Amino acid sequence: MQRAILLTSFLLTGVLAAQADDERLKFEGALQVTSQTNECDGQYDLLNNQRVRYYAQFDPQTPRSSLVLFTTGATELIQLVNDGQFNGSNHYNLYRISGGEFAYFKDHSGYLTQPLQFTSAPVTVTPSTLFVTLQGELVNYGGVMDCNITVRAALVRIDGDMPGY
Strands 66-71, 50-55: pairing kind: antiparallel
5-9, 20-24, 46-50: range with lowest mean pLDDT: 5-9
Task: Let me know if residue 16 belongs to a domain.
Answer: yes
DSSP structure class, residue 147: -
Task: Let me know if residue 163 belongs to a domain.
Answer: no
Record the pTM: 0.81
What is the Cα–Cα distance from 100 to 86, expressed in whole angstroms? 29
User: Exposed (0-12), middle (13-18) or buried (19+): which is 87, by Cβ within 10 Å?
Assistant: buried
Task: Let me know if residue 165 belongs to a domain.
Answer: no
Q: What is the tens place of the pLDDT at every residue in 24-52? A: 889 999 999 999 999 999 999 999 999 99
> Which residues, listed in sequence order, are joined to residue 137 by a DSSP beta bridge?
117, 150
Q: Which domain holds residue 109?
A: 2-158
Contact criterion met (CB below 8 Å) for 74 and 97: yes
Task: Let me know if residue 152 belongs to a domain.
Answer: yes
Q: Based on the structure, what is the number of domains in the chain? A: 1
Helices of type H across 18-165:
none
Contact criterion met (CB below 8 Å) for 52 and 32: no
Task: Let me know if residue 164 belongs to a domain.
Answer: no
Task: Let me know if residue 137 belongs to a domain.
Answer: yes
Which residue type, as a one-letter code, is found at position 60? P
Which residue type, as a one-letter code, is found at position 159? D
Task: Let me know if residue 93 belongs to a domain.
Answer: yes
